[in-house]
A and B are shown apart, each in its own frame.
Chain A
Amino acid sequence: MKSPRITLAFTLVGALALGGTLAACSSDSGSTDGDKSPSATAAPTLDPNTKVTLNVVGLLPGSTKEAQQALADEVTEFQTENPNITVKTQDYEWKATTFAADLAGGTLPTVFEIPFTDAKTLIANQQIVDMQGYLNQLPYAADFNKNLLQYGTGQDGDVYAIPAKSIYAVGLHYNRDLFTQAGLDPDKPPTSWDEIRTDAKAIADKTGQAGFAQMSQSGTGGWQLTVDTYARGGRVESEDGKTATLTNDGTKAALQFLKDLRWTDNSMGQNFNYDWGTINQAFAAGKIGMYTSGQDVYTSLVQTNNIDPKMYGLTMIPLEGDDSGVLGGGTMAAVSSKATDDEKAAAIKWIDFHYLRKYTNEQAAVKNAQTQVASKQPVGTPELPIFTQAQYEKYQTWIKPYVNVPLDQMTSFTSKIFDAKLVNEPAVATQDVYAALDPVVQAVLTKKDADIDKLLTDATTKAQRAIDSAS
């Protein structure tokens, strides 16, 4: 169960680490947002007699029946509270390679989810709608962690995208069963990259499964290489976001690590085409010993991949070298620019009900936890706070009786994350920088003679083109 110390850890992380580092990495639109005040214009509330149908993001495609049931129950409760609103959920997985097509093609639901890094550009492109007036209708509108809220704030000072869920730091996920089968102690996961290498080899040799796996597709290769770079003290963009710095020592060391595992130790299995969804699937199926991803991925592993909780373990990624840090990010809720006023008014009610109210209202937190537990859905997966420290601490106490995730198998993460420095994703042309790094990761994993220096030099050219283009 979650100890007070762990609770404090999360609140500290949210307030200090995110605050310190995320604020330092403002987006390409500059740091003027803080100077602007949000508009005081009140948005129209929804007339209770007006019927509205609202399309919203549902679960990941392929989610279990139990997860679907829990969501259906939630929708029913929402519609009981708001009889004039009909909610239609749509399966959805955000992918860098399909999001733009969905957006341009109009196939996204009215309320959809985006990563922190995309909000500023979508606001500048007028592709998501100003929600400030509607946000003001919520009693906790002023209580958001300002450093998270600024990601969804436009040049005019108004909030367009609202921090909603999956506020994460990247962790090392490991399969406790494979650790045991390989003669390793699952309660003592690796604490350095060298130990990860040794353990990966032991797992591969003794179980025949991949000891360590790495994502490489649809931008996730670049995302995770950036994680590995930060963990070794490197950065992929200069502080002002104007220069690609992919040839730094941290990135080179991260790639050399992968090269050693793949070609010297042969401890990474045979599949090098993983993206976020498929690596989760393989991990839950027991084919992977260790991989890195957001700390909150356990929820998806249960909802979509039916993981056996007993096999799951979460620990810190090793941090080595000066200025090393853990990459952090999160998900925001946004509303389509094509939404009508009624849809916007209904959308804020859904965003409140589905994502946020539980963090600020005891009754809602308990009710939500009960709904999730009734359908055997995870309650209590570690996350970082969207609101204030005190609020998050309260929320933890409200849901404590319902927590059903194996927190005792995550203590080596939850007890240390507060000591770590959290670093934001690259601020400018984020997905392009990741896309430029994808082939580098793929080359190192699939070509024995891959020249890391040359690959990074070529990737820098591409990333710089994208950065120049975005500036």
Chain B
Amino acid sequence: MSAASALPRSSDRPADDGPAEVAGPAGRSGPPPERRVRRNPVTWVRRGGLSTLVFALPVLVVFGVFSWWPIVRSVVMSFQKTNLVAPATWVGWDNFQYVLTDPDLPTAIRNTLYFALLALVIGFPIPLVAAVLMSSVKRLKGLYSVLAYLPVVVPPVVAVLLWKFFYDGSADGVFNTILGWVNLGPYAWLSSPTLAMPSLVVEATWAAAGGTVIIYLAALIGVPGELYDAAEVDGAGIWQKVWHVTMPQLRGVLFITFILQIIGTVQVFLEPYLFTGGGPANATLTILLMIYNYAFGRSLGGDYGAATALSVMLAAFLAILSLVYFKLTSSWSKS
């Protein structure tokens, strides 16, 4: 997944996970606090509290029902054994212990980090370079924007199934045919433990880069033209202008897209689920796929306790990571 994980695909996560919302902006919604006013219901209503509440109610209800309540339920369920039919029983830390002793967990963590790393290496610079190039062209800017954004419009499942067809490992597969023209391959792509993960990242980058390109383009418009003029007067070339003017001006956006990229890639689900099911030989088993497998992966699985326990641990990890990241970068982005 590219930096466009800033706008993660809604289908990237199973329905019952709360982690993204923990780190997201949802928690800051709601009516502004009333200050320096003696709090009683009458003054609250007189000062417009009621109408504020009524206006905010739809948002509160939507977030409450679809974000906060599932998060609370997930945390509760992580301490229970339940099949959602019979009454749940409390099991203490058993679910966490079960997950932490699962022999597949280290593999899933390793694979998820590998995906995140590959997505950073492949997916983070590409949209940035594309945006800088697109902002510097004078003609057909709109066309390039449309072309860049088009893959984002393709439904993610359709895109994956399409790429699955491209990745056919036989000699007459699409990619293998093209590579065959220059005497390369055939490659097993999704059937190869070493190629499977990079193959997933390439598709994910293609699918999501357009969203980030648009964000960068919007940010680039905000860069004052005088800065470039001044740099040009000082004798700066194109790359020096990019490095000394564009990049510093984009710093704030880059910090945000970077952390959202990390959060998005750590929650990668759609690609391994649809492309490989975690295979071959667990080479693309990710943490979210494990969560899905606990909950739904076996026909009779339904180990919702283990699934939510791992979800809670992942959410906690991402929340801490985000806090540390913002703490570390707050001084940089102000400088």
Give A residues with C-beta under 8 Å from B.
Answer: 94-101, 104-105, 114-115, 118, 121-122, 125-127, 216-219, 269-273, 287, 337, 431-432, 435, 438-440, 442-443, 445-447, 450, 458, 461-462, 465, 469
Contact = CB atoms under 8 A, between A and B. Distances in A.
Contacts of A439: 279-282
A432 B298 contact: yes
Contacts of A270: 169-171, 186, 188, 191
Contacts of A96: 297-299
A97 B297 contact: yes
A446 B296 contact: no
A-B pairs, top 6 by smallest CB distance, nearest first, are A443-B281, A270-B169, A101-B296, A442-B280, A99-B299, A446-B280
B235 to A, nearest CB: 56
Contacts of B277: 97, 217-218, 273
B300 A445 contact: no
Interface stretch (B43-51, B81-89, B252-260): B81-89
Contact of B193 (A98, A287, A447): A447
A338 to B, nearest CB: 11
B279 A442 contact: yes
Nearest to A114: B299
Contacts of A218: 277
Interface in B158-177: 168-171
Interface in B72-104: 83-86, 102-104
A443 B296 contact: no
Contact of B280 (A445, A462, A469): A445
A104 B84 contact: yes
Contact of B86 (A97, A125, A447, A450): A125
A446 B188 contact: yes
9 contacts: A97-B277, A100-B295, A118-B299, A125-B86, A442-B282, A443-B280, A443-B281, A446-B192, A462-B104
B179 to A, nearest CB: 13
A100 B298 contact: yes
Q: Which of B102, B295, B298 has the most CB of A within 10 A?
A: B298
Contacts of A450: 281
Contacts of A95: 299
B190 interface: yes
Given A125-B85, A443-B280, 6 more contacts: A100-B299, A122-B300, A273-B190, A431-B298, A435-B298, A439-B282
Contacts of B83: 125, 127
A225 B309 CA distance: 32
B169 A431 contact: no
A100 B297 contact: yes
Nearest to B190: A273
Contacts of B24: none
A124 to B, nearest CB: 9
B276 interface: yes
A431 B188 contact: no
B198 interface: no
Given A269-B170, A439-B282, A443-B280, A98 B296 contact: yes
Contact of B276 (A273, A440, A443): A273
B183 to A, nearest CB: 17
B86 A126 contact: yes
A185 B15 CA distance: 53
A273 B298 contact: no
Contact of A216 (B86, B170, B280): B280
A102 B302 CA distance: 11
B301 interface: yes
B94 to A, nearest CB: 11
A194 to B, nearest CB: 26
Interface string B103-142: 1100000000000000000000000000000000000000
Contacts of B295: 100-101, 104
A106 B171 CA distance: 42
Contacts of A122: 300
Most chain B beta carbons < 10 A, residue from A98, A104, A118: A104
A125 B300 CA distance: 10
A462 B188 CA distance: 28
A216 B279 contact: yes
A271 B170 contact: yes
B37 to A, nearest CB: 47
Nearest to A120: B300
A454 to B, nearest CB: 12
A121 B171 CA distance: 44
B300 A431 contact: yes
Contacts of A100: 295-302
Between B192, B279, B295, the greatest number of chain A beta carbons within 10 A of the residue's beta carbon is seen for B279
Contacts of B303: 469
